[in-house]
């Protein structure tokens, strides 16, 4: 834990510009995560066109996301060793963003208006292209966070602002996407969301600061990956992140079904529930930053994950308890989930900065993006696993207005997954400052560069 507060070397303007990309990326991500499965495989009694079966759509999403997850560390390595006249990270944000927006538009234009092999092939290739482009932006961007911070104490501050902008992006995406999807159509939704995302990411170029520092010589891709996966502290964080992102992705994909089938509201009303989650995430962010100055980040992260386990499980009871209105009960549970999700995302990305610092202590190499890229592998595999689990639950237990049991059970499963994330994280003992990392390393004798 930091014992003194060090004055930030970054201006507020730099921090705000740097955080803009988080808004744009989250606007795009939340829109696709919430509506893609629903668009291709709507509830059977919704009256909407079905382009794929829910099981096939889930399997194809898994395959595409697994491909994306596998290449994430490669993108991170590429970003770390890239030396262009624009810097290591800027070219990715400049050139991958417009391609990503084009792929976003193509997601919502299946060639056939009924389930078909052609739709399946189209879905697979377009989703794979979209998520690849998204990774080409997000991994170099995330890898720039340790470079932006002059001292470890700034990691949480930068992560907090990124989270505030990111959750604001989620809110904006929720407020725009739901009514656009319901009234103007999926393609119009993608046009608006893609345009906002493009501008937001490009604004970050004006606030991005890249350090020119020695990296201790060059490493091959395989040597770099080997050293990454020998870092036991990172592996604990990696395993926990993978499990939590399965749970988080299930929550996102389940939300339209929950709102329409359990709560009994319209598709347009999904934005209300998303707004509650996002607003509580934003409001709680400064509190998590304040707590991080007083308690170890690892302890706070455990608390956030435990809270997710409890609240997610209790959401199963929405509409089943006498004396509580369904709408009020649903909003209450989502309002409790918001701060816990907000705390998790603020802390986990800040802790990745500490992992990068610890790796430099062990290996003498500075390798931000390959760590964030490998971290993104866990983030990417999570939705893939969720895309398998959720359709299975729906098919097994039901996801119609008359039988929404599968939608309810999905919350119990997310609670169980969050608890497994806590267990996987028990091996993480790294401190938040270089001094604590030196002390931990001397106690453990864990010198992975030998």
pLDDT at 6 over 50: no
Cα distances (angstroms) measured from residue 18 to each of 83, 127, 147, 202, 379: 21, 27, 12, 10, 22
By three-state DSSP, how is residue 161 classified? helix
In tens, the pLDDT along 85-98 reads 788 888 999 999 99
Beta carbons within 8 Å of 120's beta carbon, 6+ residues apart? 52, 56, 60
Q: How confident is the model at residue 433 (pLDDT cuts 50, 70, 90)?
A: low
pLDDT at residue 420 in the model? 96
- The DSSP symbol for 318 reads T
pLDDT band at 215 (very low <50, low <70, confident <90, very high): very low
- How large is the greatest C-alpha to C-alpha distance in the chain, in angstroms? 66
Look at residue 441 in the predicted model and tell me its pLDDT. 54
Return the pLDDT at 1: 39
Dump pLDDT digits (tens) for 290-324: 898 888 889 999 999 999 999 999 999 998 988 88
- Judged against a pLDDT cut of 50, whether residue 448 lies above it is answered with no
> Based on the number of CB atoms within 10 Å of its own CB, is 45 exposed (0-12), middle (13-18) or buried (19 or more)?
exposed
Q: Give the pLDDT confidence score for residue 150 in this predicted structure.
A: 66
Mean pLDDT: which of 5-14, 394-403, 436-445 is highest? 394-403
Domain ranges (residues) in the chain: 12-208+219-444
Least confident of 1-15, 303-317, 341-355: 1-15
Average pLDDT value over all residues in the chain: 84
CATH 3.40.50.1110 fits 12-208+219-444, yes or no: no
Of residues 327, 312, 331, the one with CA closest to residue 407: 312
pLDDT, one tens digit per residue, over 411-422 is 999 999 999 999
The angle subtended at Cα 250 by Cα 430 and Cα 170, nearest 5°, is: 80
pLDDT surpasses 80 at 270? yes
- Contacts of residue 272, defined as CB under 8 A and 6 or more positions apart, other chains included, come to 265, 331
**Is residue 450 over pLDDT 70?**
no
Which of 406, 412, 35, 59 is closest to 256 using CA atoms? 35
In the prediction, which pLDDT does 345 show? 87
Report residue 160 as tokens. 């907090």
Provide the pLDDT confidence category of residue 99 given band limits of 50, 70 and 90.
very high
Over 80: is that where the pLDDT of 381 sits? no
């Amino acid at each position: 834990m930091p014992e003194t507060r060090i004055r930030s070397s970054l201006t507020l303007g730099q921090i705000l510009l740097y955080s803009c990309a988080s808004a744009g990326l989250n606007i795009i991500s939340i829109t696709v995560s919430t509506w893609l499965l629903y668009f291709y495989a709507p509830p059977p009694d919704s009256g909407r066109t079905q382009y794929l079966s829910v099981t096939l759509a889930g399997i194809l999403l898994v395959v595409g996301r697994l491909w994306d997850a596998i290449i994430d560390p490669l993108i991170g390595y590429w970003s770390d060793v890239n030396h262009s006249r624009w810097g290591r990270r800027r070219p990715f944000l400049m050139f991958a963003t417009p391609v990503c927006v084009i792929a976003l538009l193509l997601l919502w234009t299946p060639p056939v208006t009924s389930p078909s092999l052609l739709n399946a092939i189209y879905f697979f290739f377009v989703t794979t292209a979209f998520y690849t482009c998204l990774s080409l932006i997000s991994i170099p961007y995330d890898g720039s966070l340790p470079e932006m911070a002059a001292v470890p104490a700034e990691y949480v501050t930068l992560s907090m602002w990124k989270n505030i902008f990111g959750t604001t992006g989620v809110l904006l995406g929720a407020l725009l996407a739901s009514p656009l999807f319901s009234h103007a159509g999926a393609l119009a939704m993608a046009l608006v969301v893609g345009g906002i995302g493009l501008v937001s990411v490009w604004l970050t170029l004006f606030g991005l600061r890249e350090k020119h520092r020695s990296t201790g010589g060059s490493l091959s891709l395989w040597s770099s990956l080997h050293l990454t996966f020998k870092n036991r502290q990172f592996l604990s964080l990696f395993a926990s992140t993978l499990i939590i992102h399965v749970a988080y992705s299930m929550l996102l994909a389940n939300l339209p079904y929950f709102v329409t089938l359990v709560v009994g509201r319209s598709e347009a009303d999904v934005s209300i529930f998303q707004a509650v989650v996002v607003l509580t995430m934003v409001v709680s962010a400064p509190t998590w930053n304040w707590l991080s100055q007083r308690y170890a980040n690892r302890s706070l992260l455990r608390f956030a994950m435990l809270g997710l386990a409890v609240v997610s499980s209790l959401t199963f009871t929405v509409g089943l308890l006498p004396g509580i209105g369904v709408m009020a009960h649903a909003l209450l549970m989502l309002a409790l989930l918001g701060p816990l999700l907000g705390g998790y995302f603020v802390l986990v990305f800040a802790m990745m900065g500490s992992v990068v610092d610890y790796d430099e202590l062990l290996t003498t190499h500075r390798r931000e993006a390959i760590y964030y890229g490998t971290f993104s592998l866990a983030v990417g595999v999570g939705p893939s696993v969720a895309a398998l689990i959720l359709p299975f639950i729906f098919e097994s237990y039901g996801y119609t207005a008359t039988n929404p049991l599968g939608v309810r059970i999905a919350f119990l499963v997310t609670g169980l997954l969050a608890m497994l994330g806590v267990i996987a994280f028990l091996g993480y003992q790294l401190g938040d400052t270089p001094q604590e990392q030196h002390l931990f390393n001397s106690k453990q004798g864990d010198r992975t560069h030998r």
